[in-house]
Amino acid sequence: MTFVRDLTAELGDHQVATVGRLDLSPDLVNVVPAVATFTVDLRNTDEPTLQVAEQRMAEELARVGWTERVTVTTRSLARFEPVEFDAEMIDLVEDVATRLGCSTRRMPSGAGHDAQMLARVCPTSMIFVPSLNGLSHNIAEFTAPDDLERGANVLLHVILARAGQTMS
């Protein structure tokens, strides 16, 4: 797990990783586990860098297996190549948000949202709204109703603009 953290720091801002699950068996305070199962989610907006991260992770697992004389097995749960969102759609979202008085910030996203799949077949971008303390994908996530409304209005006006319509 510390390797995953160090790897993201080494590869830079667009490299993210999560060790989201850890199961030990037996899961007892005073017993060395016979089996440890964990997930590693590696994401990057740049495919070659993502491939480097995946290769480095595989090498580290092999090294640990050899050094600790344990069997390491891996399996891929999912793998999606990063996509670039449409520059005109990104500009449109930013322009609409600015016109509606919303603050904007361009951010890369390695998240596997529906937009990642849609970007392969149509012009796509994403609209993010702020969550309290920046917490997302967590049961404690909270976004104020006013922020949700602003995000929905940005989406509405982007759709209207793409349809060649304006809203009075």
Per-domain boundaries in the chain: 2-68, 87-162
- d(Cα 148, Cα 142) in Å, to the nearest integer? 10
pTM for this predicted structure: 0.78
> For 92-106, what is each residue's pLDDT tens digit?
999 999 999 999 999
Among 3.40.1350.10, 3.30.56.10, 3.20.20.70, 3.30.70.360, what is the CATH number of 2-68?
3.30.70.360
What is the third-level CATH fold of 87-162? DNA polymerase; domain 1 (1.10.150)
Which pLDDT does position 107 carry in this prediction? 85
For the chain, which residues score pLDDT lower than 50? none
Q: Which distant-in-sequence residues (6+ apart) come within 8 Å of 86 by Cβ? A: 119, 123, 124, 125
Handedness of CA 54, 57, 53, 25 (dihedral sign): positive
Which pLDDT does position 83 carry in this prediction? 85
- d(Cα 138, Cα 101) in Å, to the nearest integer? 28
Which pLDDT does position 137 carry in this prediction? 82
Which pLDDT does position 167 carry in this prediction? 66
Which pLDDT does position 70 carry in this prediction? 96
Give the other-Cβ count within 10 Å of 49's Cβ.
16
